[in-house]
Amino acid sequence: MITDEELSGFLAMHQGFRAEFGRLAAACRAPRDAAHEALLEEQLALVLDVLHLHHTHEDVHLWAYLLERSPESAWELDTLELEHDILAPLIEAAHDIAVPLSGRVAVLERLHHTLNDHLDHEERVGVPLMLVHMTPEMVRSDARKAESEIGRKRMPVVFGWLASCLDDEQLAIALRQQPGLVRTLFRWFWWPSYERRMRQLYAGTDLGRLTPREGVLR
């Protein structure tokens, strides 16, 4: 059994997915110039890749583990996996760089809404099972695996992206789960760098929850 706080990394990833495709859909309507378009493509590719890694882990490992420990939940877990199949063509279409970004806005909007519905379902069904059946060691192992798959070079950007989607309390919890070195890097380097990236990406669009972090980062 684990606590809500121990699952905060998994839920922070959900928050990142919930926000970013909506932001991208808004910004991709009219990129300012070629450099802006390239940065949007880079951000979209990053978020889609992390989403693919997240879904693959659930399909290959997490649902099977939970099914073994809660066979009465088979129908709900199968439905969550089926929803990944429904999302797959939207993810593929969002990846299609042969189509200009402005031509993918409708796909991104649909992905945003469909994915949020799926995450709502997953948090109603999967998260309670995870809290009951997972162990702290499993959570730590999954986090290490995710960090390895994302890679060191991408981790500062991914951490900044996720932080930009959390409220102050959620961010404080997420930072408590990290070693001191990561907290220091985030405060002095990763977050200031990501604030600049956010403004380059979304200048002229609603930046959502992007707010000053001084109180959280003391």
pLDDT tens for each residue of 88-141: 999 999 999 999 999 999 999 999 999 999 999 999 999 999 999 999 999 999
Q: What is the dihedral of CA 129, 130, 131, 135, to 10 degrees?
A: 130
Judged against a pLDDT cut of 60, whether residue 213 lies above it is answered with no
**pTM of the full predicted structure?**
0.94
Burial 127-159 (b: 16+ CB within 10 A, else e): bebbeebbeeebbeebeeebeeebeeeebbbbb
Residues in the chain: 218
**Residue 67 contacts residue 163 (beta carbons within 8 Å):** no
> What pLDDT does 216 receive?
56
Tokens of 146: 């995710």
pLDDT at 208: 54
The secondary structure element, H or E, covering residue 124 is helix 105-133
Among residues 172, 177, 181, the alpha carbon closest in space to that of 213 is found at: 172
pLDDT, residue 204, reads 82
Pick from 104, 67, 105, 62: nearest CA to 84? 62
3-class DSSP string for 22-56: HHHHHHCCCCCCHHHHHHHHHHHHHHHHHHHHHHH
The vertex-169 CA angle with 166 and 174, nearest 5°, equals 65
Q: How far is CA 167 from the centre of its chain?
A: 14
Percent of the chain residues past pLDDT 90, beyond the cut = 92
What is the SS3 assignment for 113? helix
Would you state the structure tokens that stand for residue 11, as one six-digit string?
A: 């839920």
- On the question of pLDDT at 147 being above 70, the answer is yes
Q: DSSP character for 100?
A: -
Angle between helices 34-57 and 155-164 (to 10 degrees): 90
Helix axes 191-202, 155-164, angle to 10 degrees: 70
Q: Convert the pLDDT of each residue in 1-45 to its tens digit.
A: 999 999 999 999 999 999 999 999 999 999 999 999 999 999 999
Q: Which of 99, 3, 89 is nearest to 48 (CA)?
A: 89
H or E stretch at 114: helix 105-133
